[in-house]
């Protein structure tokens, strides 16, 4: 068909612009997701968590119609400086139990010295005889075993046990993901990350925290196999794949532990920053976008947001979010940026060998 007066490039650009405009209009027609920001005062983390949930309408509204709740902290290592504080998870467990819910805490950690880390080398493995005791040590070392006992909340090792397959329509990396049965059977997954930078994904917040749902007995510890496959799609090997897991899971609440945060070369080597803030929301994209803004990152700097938009997740920008509590500007700190790397360059020393 002839295009009189319009060359092909102009025609295509016009079509792309029209599509973008339609997507913006569709996003604006959706209800604005709510994200709460609360300052932690006098080190009362529990009070700040409760206030943040109240900004969302209270625990009764947030968990209405949900009976089983799975809390997923970020316990990537067995080091307290780089992991979610138990106080945040304890407060959420208490609120959920007071609302009559069944609560569990699940994690599949990445690496621990003496198990799949020796000296300066970190190994990948699928061996359950390594992963199971490794996970138990993480729970004990970080205070989660004590928390679970006191609160009468079970701990779930997401690396092994009864695993099931979940289809991901329109997936970027895995058409089907394998997860622990508890991830499928829970009514509500709550991601409870520590506010940190990340050398692959720029930031690691509520969505990136779901890497811990990929069982090591399938995807290897340090998720070597997962990253290898994801890097075939995009260079970070950690951005598109977490959007797949967001869509495969029942993620419906994110509570970001910003009591102590990490800037620079996270998720483990950066310096700590006392932020004294909790960020919470039911929409994972919106919550992460607000938390990233608190850290001084524009949405365009975080590749996960671009992949979320490609998957049709919303919002697309900060102005489509209703922020309650403290304004972003009042708690924002410009974090030192991580030295970004591609998975192919990290792979040579991070889980390059298998045991």
246-294 residue pLDDT tens: 999 999 999 999 999 999 999 999 999 999 999 999 999 999 999 999 9
CA dihedral for 91, 198, 222, 161, sign (positive or negative): positive
Residue 16 has pLDDT above 60, yes or no: no
* The pLDDT of residue 28: 62
Please determine, for residue 245, whether its predicted confidence score (pLDDT) is greater than 50. yes
pLDDT for res 339: 98
SS3 content of the chain, % helix, strand, coil (to 5): 40, 25, 35
Other C-beta atoms within 10 Å of 279: how many?
A: 32
Give tens-digit pLDDT for 127-177.
999 999 999 999 999 999 999 999 999 999 999 999 999 999 999 999 999
Distances (CA, A) of 4 to 1, 7, 11, 12: 9, 8, 11, 14
Q: What is the structure's pLDDT at 19?
A: 47
Q: How many CB atoms lie within 10 A of CB 333?
A: 15
Three-state SS at 168: coil
d(CA 90, CA 302): 30
Give the CA distances from residue 132 to residues 115, 126, 160, 297, in Å, rounded to whole numbers and listed in that order.
10, 10, 7, 36
Instruction: Report pLDDT for 3.
Output: 40
User: Which single residue is written with the structure tokens 């909340």?
Assistant: 153
Q: Which of 71, 218, 241 shows the shortest CA–CA distance to 168?
A: 241
Strands (E), the chain: 34-39, 68-73, 102-107, 117-118, 121-124, 155-157, 163-167, 176-180, 188-192, 194-198, 202-204, 251-262, 272-281, 322-325, 350-354
- Rounded CA gap, 194 and 2, in Å? 56
For residue 52, pLDDT over 70 is answered with yes
Tokens of 228: 């290898």
Q: What is the pLDDT of residues 70-104, one digit of tens each?
A: 999 999 999 999 999 999 999 999 999 999 999 99
Q: Domain locations in the chain?
A: 32-141+150-350
Q: Looking at residue 125, what is its pLDDT?
A: 98
**Matching CATH number, 32-141+150-350, of 3.40.50, 1.10.150, 1.10.3470, 1.20.1070:** 3.40.50
Alpha-carbon distance of 76 to 73, in angstroms, equals 9
96 token code pair: 């959920």
And the tokens for 219?
Answer: 């995807």
Question: Across-strand partners of 192?
Answer: 73
Rg (CA), the chain: 20
Whole-number Å distance between alpha carbons of 246 and 307: 11
Residue 1, pLDDT above cutoff 60: no
The residue with tokens 């260079």 is 235
Beta bridge partners of 157: 107
CB neighbour list of residue 6: distance below 8 Å, 6 or more residues apart = 14
Across residues 218-235, what is the average pLDDT?
98
Which pLDDT band, with edges at 50, 70 and 90, does 65 fall under?
very high
């Amino acid at each position: 068909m002839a295009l009189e007066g319009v060359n092909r490039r102009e025609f295509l650009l016009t079509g792309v612009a029209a599509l973008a405009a339609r997507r913006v209009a569709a996003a604006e027609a959706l209800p604005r997701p709510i994200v709460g920001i609360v300052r932690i005062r006098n080190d009362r983390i529990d009070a700040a968590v409760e206030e943040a949930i109240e900004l969302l309408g209270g625990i009764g509204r947030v968990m209405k119609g949900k009976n089983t709740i799975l809390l997923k902290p970020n316990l990537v290592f067995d080091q307290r400086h780089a992991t979610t504080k138990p106080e945040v998870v304890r407060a959420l467990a208490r609120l959920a139990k007071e609302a009559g819910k069944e609560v569990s805490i699940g994690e599949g950690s990445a690496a621990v010295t003496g198990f799949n880390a020796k000296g300066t080398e970190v190994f990948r493995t699928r061996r359950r005889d390594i992963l199971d005791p490794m996970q138990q040590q993480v729970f004990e070392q970080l205070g989660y075993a004590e928390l679970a006992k006191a609160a009468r909340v079970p701990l779930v090792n997401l690396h092994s046990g009864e695993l099931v397959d979940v289809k991901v329509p329109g997936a970027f990396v895995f058409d089907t993901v394998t997860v622990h049965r508890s991830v499928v059977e829970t009514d509500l997954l709550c991601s409870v990350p520590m506010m940190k930078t990340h050398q692959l994904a720029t930031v690691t917040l509520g969505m990136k925290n779901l890497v811990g749902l990929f069982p090591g007995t399938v995807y290897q510890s340090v998720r070597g196999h997962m990253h290898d496959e994801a890097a075939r799609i995009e260079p970070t090997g950690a951005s598109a794949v977490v959007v797949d897991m967001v869509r495969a899971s029942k993620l419906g609440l994110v509570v970001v532990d910003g009591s102590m945060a990490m800037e620079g070369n996270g998720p483990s080597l950066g310096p700590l920053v006392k932020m004294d803030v909790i960020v919470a929301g039911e929409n994972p994209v919106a919550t992460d976008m607000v938390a990233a803004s608190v850290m001084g990152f524009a949405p365009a700097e975080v590749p996960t947001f671009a992949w979320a938009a490609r998957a049709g997740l919303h919002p697309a920008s900060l102005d489509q979010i209703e922020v309650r509590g403290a304004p972003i500007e009042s708690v924002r700190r410009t974090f030192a940026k991580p030295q970004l790397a591609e998975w192919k360059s990290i792979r040579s020393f991070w889980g390059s060998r298998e045991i």
